[in-house]
A and B are shown apart, each in its own frame.
Chain A
């Protein structure tokens, strides 16, 4: 079982709709969580990070963390074609390593 799991997709969402990306983790001691966006052939870039239970909003993006359920999600409101990319979830584990999910490919259809 992978330590950080994501559905590989592709997840297809109409333009203007809400895209919901999910991530589960196995290490209950994980403390901080990161969402990265990676365009094809490019390097990952940070979208958001979250440390505390609940929601954290930044513009069109909302990260949600539920430590009891070991679940992190990223919501993208008013999805744009430029949001089409692979989204990587990462968790800082209890042994201080950064553990990466395999990523979810998101396609926003005009």
Chain B
């Protein structure tokens, strides 16, 4: 079983609020990722990190930011939530570029 954890699992929040989705892994993986996935749809990469103090934007502009101050922790922040941010957010990590990615259980976000 993968040692990667996301909190909260479910979140309902009002428009304009600032939120942080947490992701932690205990596997010592350098590479971490945030994906957005709507029901029945494909994964969209929104941010990734290849190590401490390294962050990059993915293909989807989600108006979010990330930080990587510690290897095990990769939080995602939405400064001002909008209904269009309603989705499932999945965090993943992997050891290197040719190994499997492990996923957290996801955070289902609803912005009302």
Q: A residues near B, CB below 8 A?
A: 31-32, 34, 40-46, 49, 51, 86, 88, 90, 92, 96, 98, 100-103, 105
Contact = CB atoms under 8 A, between A and B. Distances in A.
B81 interface: no
Contacts of B104: 43
Interface in B29-65: 33, 39-43, 45
Contacts of A96: 97
Contact of A98 (B40, B42, B101): B101
Contact of B103 (A32, A45, A51, A102): A45
Contacts of A45: 103
Nearest to B58: A97
Interface of B is mostly: loop
Interface residues of B, number: 18
B43 A46 contact: no
Contacts of B101: 34, 46, 90, 98
Interface in B82-111: 90, 94, 97-98, 100-106
Which 8 A-B pairs rank lowest in CB-CB distance, beginning with the nearest?
A102-B42, A43-B103, A96-B97, A32-B98, A46-B100, A100-B43, A43-B106, A44-B103
Contact of B42 (A40, A42, A103): A103
B98 A92 contact: yes
A77 to B, nearest CB: 22
Contacts of B102: 46
Given A45-B103, A86-B40, 19 more contacts: A32-B98, A34-B100, A40-B39, A43-B103, A43-B104, A43-B105, A46-B101, A49-B100, A88-B43, A92-B97, A92-B98, A96-B97, A98-B33, A98-B101, A100-B42, A100-B43, A100-B45, A102-B42, A103-B42
Contacts of B100: 34, 46, 49
A31 B98 contact: yes
Nearest to B104: A43
Contacts of B42: 100-103
